[in-house]
Amino acid sequence: MDKKKIINDPVYGFITIPAGIIFELIEHPYFQRLRNIKQMGLAYLVYPGAIHTRFHHALGAMHLMGMAIETLRGKGHNISKQEEEAVNIAILLHDIGHGPFSHALEHTIVEGISHEHISSLLMDNLNKEFGNGLQLALEIFNNRYDKPFLHQLVSSQLDCDRMDYLSRDSFFTGVSEGIIGFDRIIKMLNVRRNQLVVEEKAIYSIEKFLIARRLMYWQVYLHKAAVSAEHMLVAILRRAKYLVSTGVELFCTPNFRHFLTRSVTREDFERDPAHLQCFSSLDDYDIYTSVKVWAGADDLILSYLCKSLVKRRLYKTEISNVPIGEDRLRKLEELAVKTFGIRQEEVHYFVFTDVIINNAYNVNDGNINILTKDGDVKDITLASDNSTLEALAKTVKKYILCYPRELNVTKKEDIGSEMN
């Protein structure tokens, strides 16, 4: 039976899903779960159109992978049908281990394990289920295959993952600064000494790609309201876990309860398959349904946090180039204790600081290499005449301060001067 399907994607148009194992993997519950996990977490509270999912993104990344393989074959590089299928599987499943709300809760629901490692564990399960049909995909995904350029198409500083999420997130948020020339970049891909390179003709497209990534981080991914919402959701989960640990009964779905009532580490995942099974059924709906119910909880802190998030009364977030002053932080904490009638040890749910980092390009970490017209291979920062790229290669660190807006109604002199 021919199971080839065509999906109409809003970003690329028609995407063809090949028959065989790829179609079966897309139909699998592990992958279908991605329909219920938003690609951009809580960013829809800032950009209402940002409600696309990891499911959208994975299919889009696979579509770009198909374009890349076609380009490299057209330039004489030997990529077998088996390798093509395997690299398509690797990119299709690269985000399968993401938890609810994508990155927001990655280290809150579980401890000491990344979504990449959970993806690898789920792929191991699928490999067994499909009679070792994913073995080559796992070799490529884990960078153990003797053609490293295939892994670089899946995971590097210029991979199909990044090219899709920049294009897709820009489309759904309406932020035009994120638009990249993915088609030109892909057409200029090549391989030298088994490493992925980009032909010099595309150097300006690569510059635009890096600049777009930097702008998308500041304008979208690290938007202060989105950062505030994510921190509030993390605070909700931490409060709920604390209450449950003290014997308080809280409503939640069975799979969510599994993680709310215990600390699950990387070692636990690898030792007991029950943890992975519960995780593979957990999505945004488990969390948000619980948050809506907890808005009516008896606990003041949990109730306040949940009501604020559901009604979009987000904490005020200030961003500074220098660390938050201790005097200002102390005065805000004192005001929070007085305003909400909480104990000092509970103030961190209401007033907190964090550091946000934007690093558009990491030199010597899977470099973006340019193939010059005379056959040399140079890092983009050396090949480009754009001095802006030197700045993009530097890590920019900023400091944030979050607190309820009720604390901002008093006179400035009561809580210290405002930051710029």
**Please, which residues have CB within 8 angstroms of residue 278's CB and are 6 or more apart in sequence?**
254, 255, 258, 259
For 159-163, 253-257, 289-293, 390-394, which range has the lowest pLDDT when averaged over its residues? 390-394
pLDDT at 391 over 80: no
Categorize the per-residue pLDDT at 304 as very low, low, confident or very high, splitting at 50, 70 and 90. Answer: very high
The pLDDT of residue 40 is: 95
pLDDT at 410 over 90: no
Distances (CA, A) of 279 to 42, 118, 119, 254: 20, 9, 11, 11
**Separation CA 40–CA 45 (nearest Å):** 10
How high does pLDDT run on average in the chain?
92
- Tens of pLDDT, residues 92-134: 999 999 999 877 677 788 888 888 899 999 999 999 999 999 9
The pLDDT of residue 320 is: 93
pLDDT at 419 over 70: no
CATH code for residues 5-217: 1.10.3210.10
Cα angle at 361 between 358 and 366, to 5 degrees? 135
Categorize the per-residue pLDDT at 387 as very low, low, confident or very high, splitting at 50, 70 and 90. Answer: low
- Tens of pLDDT, residues 28-49: 999 999 999 999 999 999 999 9
Answer with the residue of higher pLDDT: 413 or 109.
109
Count of CA atoms in the C-beta half-sphere (13 A) of 88:
28
Q: What percent of the chain has pLDDT over 70?
A: 95
Under a CB-based contact definition with an 8 Å cutoff, are residues 85 and 61 in contact? Answer: no
The pLDDT of residue 352 is: 93
Tell me the whole-structure pTM to 2 decimals.
0.92
Highest mean pLDDT: which range of 110-124, 324-338, 400-414: 324-338
